[in-house]
Amino acid sequence: MPPPEELARQNIDALLQKCGWLIQDYKKLDLSADKGIAIREVRLKEGRCDYLLLVDRKLVGIIEAKKAGVTLSSVADQSGRYAETFPDFLRGNPSGKLPFLYESTGIETYFRDERDPHPRSRRVFAFHRPETLAQWLEEPDTLRHRLAQMPFAHPYNGDGVRVCRVEAITNLEQSFPEAQHDLTS
């Protein structure tokens, strides 16, 4: 039986392939091989990351792999650091930081979109397809940003709703003014 770290990588490789990613080793990199490429074991300026994700030859994300049983919330800082130190020859992101970060054991996977108003890792069922990440990069704002703006862009006026519900919603909105500020900043 393979060691736990190798088993995690095998599971992650299988999940990535099911989601449409072509997996390549760093030393055998062919950027024109497919739309979405996951590069294994890439040496960074500081350390080595488990996978770098490229969509249409542009660096868009990183996956930090851990053996099963590791608490992934403790790995988010590590993937965040790696997302800022990728190799110069792959640098194509003008902001200097990758937008899509994953932490995975091959059994459990967390995802974070660094472009969100308050980015945080969330559990996901699978890696996102390369086409999905490409589409998200074309959007002017993230889904979470648009949801945070919804109460201000489309204020609730209570038309066609019972008075008690209007009162409850209004009181709820007024009871969390700091939450509304946090979502928009």
Q: How confident is the model over 107-118, as pLDDT tens digits? A: 999 999 999 888
More confident residue, 91 or 28: 28
For the chain, the average pLDDT equals 82
To the nearest 10°, report the CA torsion of 53, 54, 59, 61: -30
Residue 95 has pLDDT above 60, yes or no: no
What CATH number matches the domain at 4-138, 3.90.1570.30, 3.30.70.590, 3.30.700.30, 3.40.1280.10?
3.90.1570.30
Q: How confident is the model at residue 26 (pLDDT cuts 50, 70, 90)?
A: confident
- DSSP state, residue 57: T
Q: pLDDT above 70 covers what percent of the chain?
A: 83
Two structure tokens written together for 110? 């967390």
Q: What is the largest CA-CA distance in the chain?
A: 66
The pTM for the full model equals 0.77
Two structure tokens written together for 70? 């590791």
Q: At what angle do helices 143-153 and 177-184 cross, to 10 degrees?
A: 130
Q: How confident is the model over 47-92, as pLDDT tens digits? A: 788 899 999 988 899 999 888 887 777 677 767 766 666 666 665 5
Determine how many CB atoms are found less than 10 A away from the CB of residue 37: 23
